[in-house]
Amino acid sequence: MMDLTVDFKGVSKRYAHFNLDNINLELPTGSIMGFIGANGAGKSTTIRILMGLVHQDAGTVKVLGHAMPAEQAAAKMDIGFVSEDMRLYAAATLHWHMNFVSSMFPKWDQAYADKLIRRFDLKPQQKIKGLSHGQRVKAALLLALARKPRLLVLDEPTTGLDPVARREVLGELMAVLADEDRTILFSSHNTQDVEQISDQITFIDRGKIIDSDNKEAFLDQWRRLRLVLPQNSEVPRLPGVIDVGGSGRLPVLTTNRFDPGMLTVCQDLGATVQAVDSMTLEEIFVSSVQHRRETVAV
């Protein structure tokens, strides 16, 4: 049986203008999940439920074997959490924050914290209010990483960072991945960041999980077929085609279940396969969301 660090079963949360609907989410131990959704899709609400900060209306949540939100204190002992809207105390120094956090986490690794200070070029005696946005994110990340969490939850950590700071933050996350026991949930609307570090991908849109699989499966199964059709013939009906674009005799088919056999079927129907394009994670995400929205609208 798979060892799960995060296990959501039928989780729902209702607000006046937004519903998180029947979320089922499994995060195996040691995996890195990219949690992708547009702004307002439900990423932060899902993460807040995971952290025990918002109580679900229905369903069960288990994190590191603890039922949430009831056992959140025990669960959070092994969680490092950084979110885009998290702020440290402006009037206090990073050194004070390190002392404060280390007093609460027995596994705090001061040597690692010192290493991160050098790597991130931070000054422990500097007050938080004197740090740039990028430095604040790095400081928050340092405080989360040095507690040696088994689960790292990152809610849009790279939002608002300049390219250099973003690269440094992502670089450190890549280094952290060397620890195979650590599980990471990385939420973002920036698919490039997610693609770099994740091995599992989950798409969320309008409060629903619309797809979840490992990254390679996404990249292998999604393709764009550029066809040239003979005069007066129709676009071939193929299983797994979720969108037909292009125009007239030059259709572009988007499929989420690509199989080389599809090309033979097209050729048998008289179409010429001009190109089979791989898709980026961003293109896959956008197509997936559009397809889901069109399906719901129908």
Partner 1 sequence: MNYSMVKRLILKDWYLQRIAIAASVLGGIGALGIVCLGGQAAFMAGLVLLITALIAVGAHLAIATMVNERKEQTLSFVMSLPISHAEYTLSKLLGTLAIFMVPYLVLVFGSLALFAIPHGVPHGLLPFTTIMAVEILLNTCLMIAVALVTESQGWTVAAIIVGNISINIVGYFVAHLSGIARGMQGGSVNWSTTASVTLLVEFGLIALMLGSTFYFQSRKRDFL
- Binding residues for partner 1, per CB under 8 A? 48, 51, 53-55, 69, 72-74, 76-77, 79-83, 85-92, 96, 100-101, 103-105, 140, 144
Distances (CA, A) of 7 to 52, 64, 66, 79: 13, 9, 10, 15
DSSP code, position 127: B
Beta carbon nearer to partner 1, 104 or 250: 104
Beta carbon nearer to partner 1, 89 or 275: 89
Tell the smallest beta-carbon distance from residue 87 to partner 1 (Å).
Answer: 4
Beta carbon nearer to partner 1, 88 or 173: 88
Beta carbon nearer to partner 1, 86 or 276: 86
Q: Are strands 151-155 and 183-188 parallel, antiparallel or unpaired?
A: parallel
Beta carbon nearer to partner 1, 105 or 112: 105
Cα–Cα nearest to 37, from 185, 188, 154, 216: 188
Q: What is the C-alpha to C-alpha distance for residues 54 and 146, in angstroms, rounded to an integer? A: 26
Tell the smallest beta-carbon distance from residue 51 to partner 1 (Å).
Answer: 7
Cβ contacts of 61 within 8 Å, gap of 6 or more: 6, 7, 8, 9, 11, 49, 50, 67, 68, 69
Tell the smallest beta-carbon distance from residue 76 to partner 1 (Å).
Answer: 4
Tell the smallest beta-carbon distance from residue 44 to partner 1 (Å).
Answer: 9
Cα–Cα nearest to 57, from 15, 7, 5, 24: 15
Tell the smallest beta-carbon distance from residue 105 to partner 1 (Å).
Answer: 7
